[in-house]
Structure 1
């Protein structure tokens, strides 16, 4: 399982990406942070997916489930875009990576289910520019990993229309 996330402090602004690879039990197998420089949130999400796929391939995984909390990024990858789309080059890189000899399932997850990758993406800005592979998890993310291993759940609040506002 690969979880990825991108973050931008501003849109555009200082941006980074992060991700984690775990086994079926939730144990850390590897991770990464990427200080992108200045980018939009959507671009940071796409870079996170690209680097997550790169690391999974490098580590030898050939059956992969990748989850991102960016429905937009997943949709951009799955839709065939116009070649003049602003992200066309990066989308092409991601699609080329997906077309390699492996089985990859892209899916959307909510932010509550992506807390480790979210932490890594925000933490990426303390690293120098570029991609940094993490053999061991940074100390700050260990409590989140432990929560996942113990099955800690979180409520997701949804705003619903009141009956009086529905016509």
Structure 2
């Protein structure tokens, strides 16, 4: 075994507890395909999809979103630059802007985000990292003053908001 080669004599006295059939194949996991689709809200709710974007290299942040009624009709869309120091803060600020715009329609607001962490922070159960405390507080207070709910949606179902968030990176004003 000096040269690193294992030979049959090295296996003397070793017995296998199980036999492996010849030609056995390992099964690969099959990809699970689930169609992702955006669904309109129930009456009388209006739905707001928001997203935030942040680029580390330029330290620019943007937010965007869409507000739709229960039939799926677009009520308003927005893209805005943000003064954020992280992607998390940009997501929170975009959600706040979306809520403020949707409140103008005078109906309960259902907010969807593709960030599970933002959804948890918006529920007011945790404060998150120190640099986002102000954004979390602002969002929680705004939610308390209006009938709203917050849920998670996958990135595939939030593409419109993602498009506007990226547009917000390039904008100079709301």
Give the strand-richer structure, 1 or 2: 1
SS, match of residue 87 in structure 1: helix
- Can you give the 5+ residue segments of structure 1 that lack an aligned partner in the other structure? 133-167
Q: Which ranges of 4 or more aligned residues in structure 1 deviate by more than 4 Å?
A: none
1:118 Cα deviation from its structure 2 partner: 0.3
- Can you give the 5+ residue segments of structure 2 that lack an aligned partner in the other structure? 1-46
Give the helix-richer structure, 1 or 2: 1
- Which structure has the larger Rg? 2
1:94 Cα deviation from its structure 2 partner: 0.5
**Structure 1 CA distance, aligned partners of 2:135 and 2:170?**
24
Alignment counterpart, residue 165 of structure 2, candidates 101, 117, 121: 121
Does 2:151 align with 1:107?
yes
**Structure 2 CA distance, aligned partners of 1:38 and 1:16?**
8
- Using the size of structure 1 for normalisation, the TM-score is 0.69
| 34-43 or 114-123, larger mean C-alpha shift | 34-43
Equivalent position of 1:29 in the other structure: 75
**Structure 2 CA distance, aligned partners of 1:81 and 1:26?**
33
1:26 Cα deviation from its structure 2 partner: 1.5
Query: Is the contact made by 1:11 and 1:39 (CA closer than 8 Å) also made in structure 2?
Result: no
SS, match of residue 32 in structure 1: strand
Alignment counterpart, residue 96 of structure 2, candidates 33, 50, 55: 50
Equivalent position of 2:60 in the other structure: 14
Aligned alpha-carbon RMSD (Å): 2.0
Seen in structure 2, the aligned counterparts of structure 1 residues 124 and 36 have a Cα distance that, compared at 3 Å, is same
